Structure 1
Amino acid sequence: MSEWTFYGRGQSLAELRKIVQEQRWFFCRISGRRRIGKTTLIRELALANNELSARLLYLQIPDSDERDVATAFRRKLEESDYPGAAKLAPDVRDFASMAQAIGLACRAGMLVVLDEFQYFTRAKMAPFNSFLQAEVDGLRFDNLKVGGLFVLGSLQSEMNALLEDKGAPLYGRITHKLDLDHWDFEDLLDVFSSQSVNHPMQWLTLWTFFEGVPKFYHDAYVQGLFDVPASAFTDELLKRMFLSSSSPLADEADTWFLRELRGKSVSILHYLSEHSGCSHGDLVAALNDTDEPNALGTSLVRLVKNYAMVDKLLPIFADGKSRNAKYYLSDNFLQAWLAVGRPAREIARLKPVEKALSISIPRLNVLEGFTFKKLIRKLHLECSRKGKGDFELTQMSLGYWNRAKTSEQNIEIDLVAIDAVNKKIRFGSCQRSEHAHEAHVLAKFEQHISGFFATRDYKYLESWVCEKVLFSPVFSATYRSDLKSKGFGCYDLNDFARLLRA
């Protein structure tokens, strides 16, 4: 196993270097889900330059009150080796003096980093924003050539409320904005290659739990998971990351995802973890209370729009008013924790770990079937965006479904990809195992494609070039040859790896 290094984020790091080298005071927002690597990016920026490292003043905002936050900032000033920083500390007593100290630190050439900035949406913390506004305005209008302010936050809706809402004190003050998303699969391939994780089923298992969240992969590295043979990999992932007394992720979801949610919102998340792709009607039938008829709808809207924990997905070509929407948990880790990790941990508290594994592994296999479909869609988007694929996307659906009068007439297709420029359409069927592409499954797949073309809205697409493609994590040469002889294309994760590395 190789040493852990800084993976991916090359473009983001280059953007930050450009910002700090412009010789102009800046106010930069860096947003992204928890554990996505915001703080690591700042640290990497500083590691490459000793002078820059000395100028950085980093504070993780405590979820507390004015006195506690001011005390934490004063302590950081006292500990700083930058000339003049310690002299600012004694005057920091409250939000007003803290904001003034930030202004003075910037004027002295320091780069102030406020992490967990979204906590300033709290009612008892909100006054800080007005004090900071006054300092920011002064720094902007003075045309400074030094200093800067980074604010880091993980909840998009709350960061928007602080910085993008027209009624917010800091509205319009941001000079630079950086949004960090998951690692691309190409970045993950670099991790897999350097850590000798070579089997595509290992890739799928890791992506099912961790998607592209850098911190989780680093935790796996620290736990020695990448040294485990492929045959024992899944068992050891569950043991080391969730079930042992030293497991780093045992409380992650409850601490960072669920701690601010109550009641109906938590019920919705638990239901979706067991019923991915359910309809609004399914949710109503399972969770609606007659004594609180509006609670379900309100909670669902918050989970979709405010917290981005739930995805509302529409059929291909559907407008926003379609009733055929389906709902999914948007975060792989949260889905895996609720469906597999937490149940396994609860069993392991009372029974042997082997019993917990025997119950959890089949649940994980089912979950991997769902996340594999999600991964294939992501790979199509990534390859098309980078110009490395064999299909130029102009539109893609996360699956097509209709609401027919009878269940026998329903149409469900895992992947519908559109290349309008070249008049090509690709239909995809995803199975966790190549053996699952059986004759009756292929027949049903072709039946659904025919049903798609038979619909009034999509009949015109029948004249386009049509590709029928099957996807599995791994295809053997024998299965690939047999399926191709039946008119189906075949792609596995090794194929996508070759495309991305070409």
Structure 2
Amino acid sequence: MSRQKFIDRERELEFLERAYSSDRAEFLVIYGRRRIGKTELLLHFARDKPHVYFLATERPYRDNLRELQRLLSEFLGDRLFGKVTFEDVDELLMAFAERIGDEKVILIIDEFPLLIEHHRPVLSLLQKAWDLKLSETRIMLILCGSSVSAMESEVLAYKSPLYGRRTGQWRLTEIPFFHIGEFLPGYTVENIVKVYGITGGIPAYLLQFDPKKGFDENVVENVLSKGAFLYEEAEFLLREELREPANYFAILQAIASGRSRFGEIVNSTGLDKSLVSKYLAVLQRLGIVEREVPVTATLKEASKRGLYSIADNYFAFWFRYVLPNKGYLEAGLAEEVWERSKSDFNAYMGSVFGKLIRIPEVFLRLTGFRFTKLGRWWRKGEEIDLLALNEMGRRALLIEVKWKELSEREARGILKDLERKAGLVGLEDWGKNYGLVAKSLEGKKELRAEGWLVWDLEDFKEKG
């Protein structure tokens, strides 16, 4: 994140600092999708502490081993350590542990899945080194990886030789929404929300947007133009993470085109039901796809009434605007494609805005309503954008979310209809409040005076 200061990651840094302050050996697993900011986080954390940072590469295992030995030798200030012949990584790490004694040292092994890929025994060898020597020191060993599936199945899973050794783990997720404006000084709240609709909270993607340029110019130059970083990033990520990318592409295309039910996805892709079920489970685990059920659904209802959507904003945008227009974009017609897409993008932002308000942190900061359940509600063609339930106090907050500029008259109509829909939910004995979130809203003061709960992007500015 070279363009700006290190942004947020307060909870992650607290977790790492807490581990560092312990008197025992620590074995942490840090993982998350590419571009999420794992390396920047770890280097920021370790910058003022004794540490060794090693980045595994595609080179053969022995080459990686020699590079790790060189870095450890450099840290120790002992050229002879770098000339000793070590047969394997367990011998190297145990010798290093012997040399550092009781000193608190951080050893970061980044892109650990690449070592596994080139030499599967590295898992057992690392287990051996930990059990025999490292666990008796004050070392802080951090394994980091971008392949979520590899880190979960090879490092964290019950069958892994390393199972039971780790003292902590953290899956890095997106930068919280209210910190995104720090990447884009000078941008309005509306444009920040629109950028979020394209990049999500992925630091490397946010850094592609130049705050000195307008929103439209950034989209054309940095997302829709051939050769831009974000132009083919989705393809690159899917091909790297998944073994059968073509089938996953078909499923994501089906969802992006509006097919949200399991049967619709099966019919659209032509794939076997069992395969679609398996692929959807993988996409959910990776955080690319989500399955929603009505917030009041019973377990039995939840198994039948789920709707699938693309949870990751970058993938949602890419499959809706980049992939279907690839022929035009390859021909250099990015500006024309974007001009043609703007009206649909407004509709797309309606969905993005709704999901944004349903993020627990955003919802709580905006409304202050304490909830035990939060989500959408729908039944037989009727839908409520957001239903928050406080089951202990038997209170409910029902909210409609509109990416529109609403007059006071339009707002009243939406709120009155929300009262009607509340009768369909089945919360007869509950206390209820009704709310509306919009891009902009006339008559907020008057509506609030009457007991309605209303917010627009001006309120985001105050909460940020």
TM-score higher than 0.5: yes
Distance 1:248 1:263 in 2: 22
Q: 1:103 to 1:318 in 2, by over 3 A?
A: farther
Letter of the aligned partner of 2:368 in structure 1? D
Q: Does 1:115 align with 2:104?
A: no
**Shift of residue 344, structure 1, vs aligned partner:** 5.1
User: Which residue of 364, 371, 374 corresponds with 1:396?
Assistant: 374
Structure 1 residues 350, 186: closer, same or farther in 2, change over 3 A?
A: closer
Kindly provide the amino acid, as one letter, of the partner of residue 498 in structure 1.
Answer: E
Name the structure 1 match of 2:67. Answer: 75
Deviation at 1:137, TM superposition (A): 0.6
Deviations 1:77-109 (A, max 9, x none): 33563125654445567xx61232133334433
Q: Which runs of 5+ in 2 are unaligned?
A: none
Contact 1:400 1:412 in 2 (8 A): yes
C-alpha distance in structure 2 between counterparts of 1:92 and 1:363, whole Å: 62
* Percentage of identical aligned residues: 21
Task: Give the AA of the match of 2:232.
Answer: D
What letter corresponds to residue 264 of structure 1 in structure 2?
A: N
- What is the match of residue 219 of structure 1? 208
The aligned counterpart of 2:329 is 348
Q: Secondary structure at the match of 2:75?
A: coil
Alignment match, 1:407: none
Q: Distance in 2 between matches of 1:234 and 1:210?
A: 12
Q: Is the 8 A contact 1:348 1:356 kept in 2?
A: yes
Counterpart of 2:257 (choices 254, 263, 274) is: 274
Aligned length: 454
Q: Is the 8 A contact 1:114 1:151 kept in 2?
A: yes
The residue number in structure 1 matching 2:428 is 462
* C-alpha deviation, 1:267, in angstroms: 0.6
Quote the Cα distance in structure 1 between the aligned partners of 2:413 and 2:183.
38
Change (3 A) 1:272 1:108: farther
Shift in CA distance, 279/309, structure 1 to aligned 2, threshold 3 Å: same
**Partner amino acid, structure 2, of 1:83:** L
1:417 equivalenced with 2:388 (yes/no): yes
Deviations 1:6-39 (A, max 9, x none): 1111232233234334343321111222222111
Contact 2:186/2:211, CA 8 A, preserved across alignment: yes
Counterpart residue number, 2:218: 237
| Residue equivalent to 1:184 | 176
Gaps of 5+ in 1: 405-409
| Paired residues for 1:75-474 under 5 Å | 75-78=67-70, 81-84=74-77, 86-90=79-83, 97-109=88-100, 110-119=105-114, 122=117, 125-141=119-135, 143-145=136-138, 147-192=139-184, 195-197=185-187, 199-220=188-209, 225-228=210-213, 233-244=214-225, 247-259=228-240, 260=242, 261-275=244-258, 278-289=260-271, 292-305=272-285, 307-321=286-300, 322=302, 323-343=304-324, 346-378=327-359, 380-382=360-362, 384=364, 389-397=367-375, 399-402=376-379, 404=380, 410-435=381-406, 439=410, 446-447=416-417, 449-454=419-424, 458-459=425-426, 461-474=427-440
Which shifted more, 411-420 or 105-114?
Answer: 105-114
Tell me the distance in 1 between the aligned counterparts of 2:161 and 2:32. 22
Contact 1:57 1:111 in 2 (8 A): yes
Alpha-carbon distance in structure 1 between the residues aligned to 2:408 and 2:443: 9
Quickly say closer, same or farther: Cα 1:196–1:86, change in 2 above 3 A. Answer: farther
DSSP-derived class of the 1:316 partner: coil
C-alpha deviations, 1:447-487, integer Å up to 9, x for none? 46534524xxx43x233332221112333xx3535765887
Query: Is the contact between residue 189 and residue 461 of structure 2 (CA under 8 Å) also seen in structure 1?
Result: no
Of the three residues 50, 62, 69, the one matched with 2:57 is 62
CA contact (8 A) 1:61 1:114 kept: yes
Partner Cα separation in structure 2 for residue 215 and residue 30 of structure 1: 18
**CA drift at 1:186:** 2.9
1:131 to partner: Cα distance: 1.0
Q: Is the 8 A contact 1:313 1:325 kept in 2?
A: yes
CA distances 1:161-198 after superposition (whole Å, capped 9, x unpaired): 23332221101000232332222223224445xx222x
Q: Report SS of the residue matched to 1:113.
A: strand
CA distance in structure 2 between the partners assigned to 1:152 and 1:436 by the alignment: 50
Q: Give the Cα separation in 2 of the matches to 1:436 and 1:135.
A: 67
Paired with 1:86 and 1:416, the residues of 2 have a C-alpha distance of 64
Whole-angstrom CA distance in 1 between matches of 2:78 and 2:314 = 40
1:46 paired with 2:46, answer yes
Q: Does the C-alpha gap of structure 1 residues 33 and 208 become closer, same or farther in structure 2, counting only changes over 3 Å?
A: same
Distance 1:63 1:486 in 2: 64
- CA deviations 1:380-437 (Å, max 9, x no partner) are 53453x7x7421112111x1112x3xxxxx2211101112344321111111112499
8 Å contact from structure 1 (residues 106, 148) kept in 2: no
- Report Cα offsets for 1:131-184 as digits up to 9, x if no partner: 11100111255x213x33110123444323233322211010002323322222
Tell me which amino acid in the other structure corresponds to 1:395.
K
- When residues 180 and 107 of structure 1 are mapped into structure 2, their CA distance, relative to the original with a 3 A threshold, is farther
CA distance in 1: counterparts of 2:96 and 2:22, whole angstroms: 18
Aligned to 2:294, the other structure's residue is in SS state: coil
In 2, the alpha carbon distance for the partners of 1:35 and 1:446 equals 44
RMSD between aligned residues? 3.0
Cα distance in 1 for residues equivalent to 2:61 and 2:399? 52
Moved more, 335-344 or 442-451: 442-451
- TM (normalized to structure 2)? 0.87
